[in-house]
Amino acid sequence: MTTVKPRGEEAAATAIIGLKVRPGLEREYETWQKAVNAAAAGFAGHLGAEVSPPTSLQPDWVVVYRFDSIAHLQAWINSATRQNLLDAGSRLFDGPGTQQVVRGGEQAPDPLVTVVVAHRVHPDHVDEFLDWQQRMSQEERTFEGFRGTELFRPIEGLQDEWTTLYRFDSAEHLDAWLTSSTRRKILAEGEKFNEFKLRTIDNSFGSWFAFEENGKQAPPPSETKTAIAVWVGLYPTVVLLTLALSPLKMPLWIGLLVGNLLSSFIMSFLTMPYYVNPLLKRWLRPSPGASAARTNRIGLGIVAGVTAIWAVVFYLVTTQFWTLP
């Protein structure tokens, strides 16, 4: 049975982006893409990114971003940082790219070939579409090499399409299904759903798209780590804002109202993605097999060190060099 992800479920989110690079600009594109990936790594919830060059299965460059939630992925996708990078690299591409986003799924232990299919479905035809997808899944399972399928609903504010992922153990077995008379017959039965985008992702990172019964997904940081990380960013943010706003001599209640609003934006768009997350990345999300005790010692040492530095700086600023009005 095909699994359909519910609308409200909060889980890891993956963006699959296809790009057609102009001939002769591949080297420049790779340099640009490294800069984009580095920027993405600074955003909250970033779990990883991979880039795959064109293959016999996939004619475009494919980039996969994985975040711990739809909200964090959406923050990156819609960020001014990413838009500025896209504007800077626009001359590298032959036409607009494609993008699909899926919620949930876990990394698989084995590299498989994954197909991503995106459908636009009219709201009045959703039940019929689900029945048609169920028939498609039942037939897929009878083909050699089939390893699983999953159907994802549209994501409000980010993607209007239904996205289906299905996996095979080899390109040969996948091609047998894609070119089969069985599949052609089912496509004919669902004629109204035949406007779709299909993207094949080769073994290089097909394992990014496993399903619920496979693999182990890295858990998010604990609530204690999250609280400490926020504190590390909040202290310098609040003190700097207080110093910046103090010459305005606002009443306490207005000063706190304005300060809290500004600190929320600064924490979301500057402090956490560009300061705290890169600084504490290995502590918040240690690599598999890393010693927990050693990771915690190093992480807490960094926390103590940077906090002490900020405390000394602010002590000197507010007592030796400047006195608050």
Is 257 found in the same domain as 161?
A: no
- Domain CATH code at residue 119: 3.30.70.100
Number of domains, the chain: 2
pLDDT tens track for 147-185: 777 777 887 767 778 888 777 877 788 888 888 999 888
Is 123 found in the same domain as 227?
A: no
Mean pLDDT, residues 295-324: 89
281/325 Cα distance (integer angstroms): 38
* Share of residues in the chain with pLDDT > 70 (%): 82
Residue type, 248: L
With beta carbons less than 8 A apart as the criterion, state whether 209 and 50 touch.
no
Is 227 found in the same domain as 197?
A: no
Is 266 found in the same domain as 181?
A: no
With beta carbons less than 8 A apart as the criterion, state whether 70 and 53 touch.
no
Q: What are phi and psi of 262, to 5 degrees?
A: -65, -40
Given 145, 177, 208, which residue is the final one in a domain? 208
Give the CB-side neighbour count of residue 259, counting CA atoms within 13 A.
Answer: 22
Does residue 110 surpass a pLDDT of 80? no
Is 260 found in the same domain as 111?
A: no
Is 266 found in the same domain as 186?
A: no
Given 173, 208, 243, which residue is the final one in a domain? 208
Given 154, 175, 208, which residue is the final one in a domain? 208
User: What is the residue range of 241's domain?
Assistant: 223-321
Is 237 found in the same domain as 183?
A: no
Is 213 part of a structural domain of the chain?
no
- Enumerate the β-bridge partners of residue 196: 119
Is 65 part of a structural domain of the chain?
yes
Is 142 found in the same domain as 29?
A: yes
pLDDT tens track for 49-94: 888 888 766 778 888 888 888 888 888 888 889 988 988 898 999 8
Is 202 part of a structural domain of the chain?
yes
pLDDT tens track for 37-58: 999 988 988 888 888 888 766 7
pLDDT tens track for 238-291: 999 998 998 888 898 898 899 899 998 898 778 888 899 889 988 887 765 678
Residue 11's pLDDT is what? 64
171/179 Cα distance (integer angstroms): 12
Is 186 found in the same domain as 112?
A: yes
Is 43 part of a structural domain of the chain?
yes
Is 227 found in the same domain as 123?
A: no
Residue that wins the pLDDT comparison between 324 and 208? 324
Q: In what order do the strands lie in the sheet with 98-103?
A: 46-52, 61-67, 13-19, 98-103
Is 257 found in the same domain as 186?
A: no
Please state whether the predicted TM-score (pTM) of the whole model is above 0.85: no
Confidence band for 31, pLDDT divided at 50, 70 and 90? very high
Is 58 found in the same domain as 169?
A: yes
- Enumerate the β-bridge partners of residue 16: 64, 100
Residue 307's pLDDT is what? 95
Is 243 part of a structural domain of the chain?
yes
